Amino acid sequence: MRVSIPPALLLPRVWVPAAFAGVVLLLLLLFTLFGGDETSATSAARPAPLPSSGIAITPDAARAAGITTQVAGPATIETTVTLYGSIKPNAEREQELRARYPGIVRLVSKRAGDPVSAGETLVTVEANESLQTYGIRSPIAGRVLERSANPGESVGSDTILMKIVDLKTVWAEFAVFARDLARVRPGQAVHINGSDSSAALDTTLTYVAPSGSTDSQSVVARAVLDNSAAQWIAGQFATADVVISQVEAAVAVAPAAIQVIGGKQVVFVVTDTGFEPREVKVGQRSRTAVEILEGIAAGESYAATNSYLIKADLSKGEAEED
């Protein structure tokens, strides 16, 4: 039996274009991906606040952990340029020994490295014409840098028999490249360190060459070093920190004291019970000091070394609370 539905009861047919349906689906997808709680997104981008409480550490525990404290105060902040070079004999204190007359070497009394006294006879030569022997003396005290003659050899008046050098002073020579030429000048203070950590000296640059080397595209900067204790060895590598500017900071701390918590630079200040993180605003920096513009006053004590241990302990405590 067929049942007919009256036309009045039929729902009207709605035609939706396919393109419009695609746009609706795309809008729903975008809302799902990028919509949400605006407050939560803003909160995630905001730096985390510093902990309100400090870390309780007894003085004995701090010493056992290697945490040392210093007092914030004035310091000289130096801006430096680092140069690389080596130690060389002082060329102004070198002497070359030559034969006065051509002849045969009969005696050489010193080897390379031996010490010599001023006026000491080092080489004896028998002259070809007179067959008489004569001695060649060292004009300076020092050491034999090179020996180029042996008994029985024939030598002329232009033959270099020995080189003597006085090593009580040496030269530290460094390469200065184009990027630093405008900033390096004679008379500037310089901190020099040898390859051996025990060799270090503060002095001044005495010479910057007026012309350079085509091969290395650099010029030579030089300082004269006192070597009376024989701590500087010719041929040894060395570095120089040339001071190009100085700032007198009213308040400064050790560089190792600066830590970052929640995107903020902090220093751990000493309290009655331990340490508390204090947000600071820093200025000029050097290898030995950091200028503090805001956050710490002169005279306050702070964790100068191993302060990262305090930061780790603080982070651990927050994690346990969460």
For each of the domains in the chain, give its residue range(s) and CATH number, in order of start: 55-75+248-321 (2.40.420.20), 80-90+168-247 (2.40.30.170), 91-165 (2.40.50.100)
Residue 99: its pLDDT value, please? 94
pLDDT score, position 50 = 61
Grouping H, G, I as helix, E, B as strand and the rest as coil, residue 31 is helix
The pLDDT confidence band at residue 16, using thresholds 50, 70 and 90, is very low
| In the block, residue with structure tokens 């014409």 | 129
How many of the other CB atoms lie within 10 Å of CB of 310? 23
Q: For residue 56, what pLDDT is reported?
A: 82
Q: For position 1, what pLDDT does the model report?
A: 44
User: Could you tell me the pTM of the whole model?
Assistant: 0.68
Question: What confidence tier does 322 reach under pLDDT thresholds 50, 70, 90?
Answer: low
- d(Cα 130, Cα 137) in Å, to the nearest integer? 20
Residue 298's pLDDT is 96
**How are beta strands 73-89 and 169-177 bridged, if at all?**
antiparallel
Residue 14: pLDDT over 70: no
Tokens 């729902």, located at residue: 11
Per-residue pLDDT tens for 196-212?
777 899 999 999 999 98
Q: Between residues 27 and 206, which one has the greater pLDDT?
A: 206
Tens of pLDDT, residues 249-294:
999 999 999 999 989 999 999 999 899 999 999 999 988 899 999 9
Cβ contact 81:183 at 8 Å: yes
Confidence of residue 38 (pLDDT cuts 50, 70, 90): very low
Give the Cα separation of 322 and 311 in Å (integer).
17
pLDDT digits (tens, 9 = 90+) for 111-139: 999 999 999 999 999 999 999 999 999 99
